[in-house]
Amino acid sequence: MFNVEKAAIEKLSTKEAVIGIVGLGYVGLPLMLRYNAVAFRVLGFDIDRQKVENLNAGHSYIEHIPSKAIAEARESGFKATTDFSRIAEVDAIILCVPTPLNKYREPDMSFVINTVNAIKPYLREGQVVSLESTTYPGTTEEELLPRVQQDGLVVGENIFLVYSPEREDPGNPNFETRTIPKVIGGHTPACREVGIALYSPAIDQVVPVSSTKAAEMTKLLENIHRAVNIGLVNEMKIVADRMGIDIFEVVDAAATKPFGFTPYYPGPGLGGHCIPIDPFYLTWKAREYGLHTRFIELSGEINRAMPEYVVSKLMDGLNDHGKALKGSRVLVLGIAYKKNVDDMRESPAVEIMELIEAKGAEVAYSDPHVPVFPKMREHHFELASVALTAESLASFDVVVLATDHDRFDFDLIKHHARLIVDSRGIYREPADHIIKA
């Protein structure tokens, strides 16, 4: 009898398999490049026709991924398409689609569900389907499993289903797709073995776990760990400020302890596609079990309040200098969610801009990684990045340091800005025109 599991593993191990990656963004694109680099044929899928056209022309639309890398991938066989019927051509389907929150801060699974519905008519025997999108425990079993099996395929026997959470960290020079260990959970033991065969050729270390639920919970724990600790240090920042203590000095000093302490630094709020969102996936799912995750929700409340705290410090600083926020010209420095990237997903800087504008101020921004304010699902400004010069800095009533890109000239900013609201602890020495927020 033909063994579908062994055939799938053999095809992946010998790199004869074709890899299909659905969603060609910050997660899918690095994964495509990695599989391409180890001599797999890769077919990329996306609903965004402009993205597909750019990739097929050899152009990148993500700052830290050079167009040269895309062009080289194209030359060695990579192709992008919007035609989901071509799912039938691939042996592995890796789903890298967004999982945002809706306006009620509940999981928005529409991207995952719509994608699975789009690929479902073209699934065939011998394929492996892997979900990488961060989600609540049970998603793979509840949403993917019934859809994959709807037309007679049997997961674990003639098609394989795994969950393997993405761990990309854009802009981090110390890690890349290959060197970040990959957690994998399969719906059945056979699924897990095929999943291991899928990722082992491309990733240095594969970490199998007992189930898709365990893998889903692993990703949430990683990000909730960070969200809770950042919430703690953000709350301590407010207390320390009221007491006249520099929280950044305190964290640096505590970090000298060689055991039992991990340094987390405060900021203007949480950003990115994971930490502001993932904890709420678990709090939402926990309610199904009659549980109230108070600790997680409290940290979420603290972190979500930080943009308003920054604006309150801005208003206090202007008042101390005899000005109102209304009618003032405000320059926000850095609108990406973290330093040295162009990723603006869930960026607290954007919320700060909206709060400032709502209070009647004229807002502008400067970000060397974001030359023009992009179209976003929920936010939009018709603005372009302001070049930082002595003259431009002096023309604003106040600058708000929201994201501490290395490409900023912090000495230039310090010497020519009239008033600085520093939410990142860049300026440690006290000065009359610097407000720590």
Structure pTM?
0.91
DSSP string, 101-132: B-TTS-B--HHHHHHHHHHGGG--TT-EEEE-
Indicate the pLDDT class of residue 1, thresholds 50, 70 and 90. Answer: very low
Q: At what angle do helices 278-288 and 294-304 cross, to 10 degrees?
A: 150
pLDDT for residue 271: 83
The domain locations on the chain are 4-210, 249-436
Confirm if 344 and 374 have CB atoms less than 8 A apart. yes
Is residue 89 pLDDT above 70, yes or no?
A: yes
pLDDT for residue 399: 98
Share of the chain above pLDDT 70, in %: 99
| pLDDT, tens digit (0-9, with 9 covering 90-100), for 46-87 | 999 999 999 999 999 999 899 999 999 999 999 999 999 999
Burial 137-160 (b: 16+ CB within 10 A, else e): bebbbebbbeebbeeebebbebbb
Are 4-210 and 249-436 in the same CATH fold?
yes
Is residue 146 pLDDT above 90, yes or no?
A: yes
Fold category of 249-436 in CATH: Rossmann fold (3.40.50)
Confirm if 132 and 164 have CB atoms less than 8 A apart. yes
Residue 330's contacts (CB-CB under 8 Å, 6 or more residues apart) are 314, 356, 361, 362, 363, 364, 396, 397, 398, 399, 400
Using alpha carbons, list the distances in angstroms from residue 164 to 63, 136, 214, 217, 229. 25, 13, 10, 11, 25
Using alpha carbons, list the distances in angstroms from residue 189 to 26, 185, 207, 210, 226. 30, 9, 14, 8, 31
172 or 75, higher pLDDT? 75
Indicate the pLDDT class of residue 170, thresholds 50, 70 and 90. Answer: confident
Indicate the pLDDT class of residue 279, thresholds 50, 70 and 90. Answer: confident
- List residues bridging with 363 in a β-sheet: 330
Indicate the pLDDT class of residue 185, thresholds 50, 70 and 90. Answer: very high
Beta-strand relationship, 160-163 and 182-186: antiparallel
| Residue recorded with tokens 């610097």 | 434
Residue 30's contacts (CB-CB under 8 Å, 6 or more residues apart) are 65, 168, 176, 177
| pLDDT, tens digit (0-9, with 9 covering 90-100), for 345-372 | 889 999 999 999 999 999 999 999 999 9
| Residue recorded with tokens 């033991």 | 189
Indicate the pLDDT class of residue 122, thresholds 50, 70 and 90. Answer: very high
Q: Catalytic residue positions?
A: 274
Q: Which two tokens stand for residue 95?
A: 């789903």
Using DSSP, state whether 249 is helix, strand or coil.
Answer: helix
pLDDT for residue 393: 97
At residue 28's C-alpha, the angle toward residues 187 and 345, to 5°, is 105
Is residue 3 pLDDT above 80, yes or no?
A: yes
What is the mean predicted confidence (pLDDT) over 391-406? 97
Using DSSP, state whether 379 is helix, strand or coil.
Answer: coil
How many helices and strands in the chain, by DSSP H and E? 16, 13
Arithmetic mean of pLDDT over the chain: 94
Indicate the pLDDT class of residue 139, thresholds 50, 70 and 90. Answer: very high
**Hey, what CATH class is 4-210 in?**
alpha beta
CA dihedral sign, ordered 21, 22, 24, 25: negative
Indicate the pLDDT class of residue 2, thresholds 50, 70 and 90. Answer: low
Confirm if 185 and 210 have CB atoms less than 8 A apart. yes
pLDDT for residue 105: 80
Residue 210 CB: number of other CB atoms within 10 A?
A: 11
| Nearest alpha-carbon partner for 125 in 156, 97, 100, 95 | 156
Residue 378's contacts (CB-CB under 8 Å, 6 or more residues apart) are none
| pLDDT, tens digit (0-9, with 9 covering 90-100), for 200-215 | 999 999 999 999 999 9
